[in-house]
Amino acid sequence: MDSHKKLVDLLHDFDTAMLVTRGEDGAMDARPMAVVKVEDDGQLWFVTDRHSGKIADLKFDSEVAITMQRSNRFVSLSGTATIVDDQPTLDALWQETWRVWFPEGKASESIILIRIQPTQGEYWDNSGLTGLKYLLKAGTAYLQSKKPETDASTNATVSF
């Protein structure tokens, strides 16, 4: 499997991510976000309140970082965020569970979408059989006083 496809496949395994933005004061802020959708090209969608601090940050600087972790799988992305205020797209992505934050539903004045277009990503996957193979390599490397070799099944950097 090629590294790009593996990274996009891994993105589908995550339901939350840490979105990292930079504010006007230069400080970086990270907050957990529910992943709304992962596109086949790796784009990510989030939903938020248009009056939130992250929207103010994105208006100042649209470059973001995304980190994800689940068991023995990790993904890091850098990319560009776009604030999307589009009712048909919101209608298509709407999830009833969002009423917790937007009691008025899709008609809420405060709901807005964020789309992330990744420019680069990296993954580390030590899960399942891939993880077992890595453990064997690591054990052998340890006994030989060497560093274990990695391959695209466990770690790769990808440009979008």
Residue 131 lies in a domain: no
The whole-number pLDDT of residue 117 equals: 98
Domain region containing 49: 3-126+155-159
92: CB partners within 8 A, 6+ apart: none
Domain contains 100: yes
When pLDDT is cut at 50, 70 and 90, the band that residue 71 belongs to is confident
Q: What is the mean pLDDT of residues 56-63?
A: 97
Given a cut of 70, whether residue 143 has pLDDT beyond it is: no
Within a domain: 146: no
Domain count, the chain: 1
Question: How many percent of the chain have pLDDT more than 70?
Answer: 86
CATH code for position 29? 2.30.110.10
pLDDT of 73 higher than 80: yes
What is the pLDDT averaged over residues 108-113?
96
Lowest mean pLDDT among 2-6, 50-54, 129-133, 143-147: 129-133
Mean per-residue pLDDT for 17-36? 96
Q: How high is the pLDDT of residue 126?
A: 81
Length of the chain in terms of residues written: 160
Tell me the mean pLDDT in the region 64-77. 95
Examine residue 142 and state whether it is found in any structural domain, yes or no: no
Q: Is 139 domain-assigned?
A: no
Domain assignment of residue 17, yes or no: yes
On the 0-12 / 13-18 / 19+ scale of CB atoms within 10 A, 25 is: exposed
Is 7 a domain residue? yes
